[in-house]
Amino acid sequence: MFGGRPQPSSAEKIAAAEAEIEMINGMVNRLNQSCTKKCIPPDYREPDLNKGESVCLDRCVAKFFDVTMKVSEKMQADQQSAAMGMGGT
């Protein structure tokens, strides 16, 4: 109880969930734009993806999520280091 973090209110939880949804929505949009631009030519002639486009999209999505995770981990580590530095020595 004493010295613990205060529990967020319902409104704060809702705001945090909405912010997370916005962030995920933005990430999906960036992923879609980036991989579509890279892997699917604008003058496509077939209704289905061909093998090369499918492989390209698969790799693009995998790389996108790999980079996103690495950036997130780095930012969390930097944030923890900054918090430790501010917390005293």
Q: What gap in Å lies between CA 77 and CA 44, rounded to an integer?
A: 43
The confidence score (pLDDT) of residue 4 equals 62
Average pLDDT, rounded, for the chain: 88
Q: Say whether pLDDT at 89 is over 70.
A: no
Tens-place pLDDT, residues 10-50: 888 899 999 999 999 999 999 999 999 999 998 878 889 99
CB-based contact 37:19 (threshold 8 Å): no
CB-based contact 66:74 (threshold 8 Å): no
Q: Phi and psi dihedrals of 59, rounded to 5?
A: -65, -40
Q: Say whether pLDDT at 1 is over 60.
A: no
Sign, CA torsion 26/28/30/33: negative
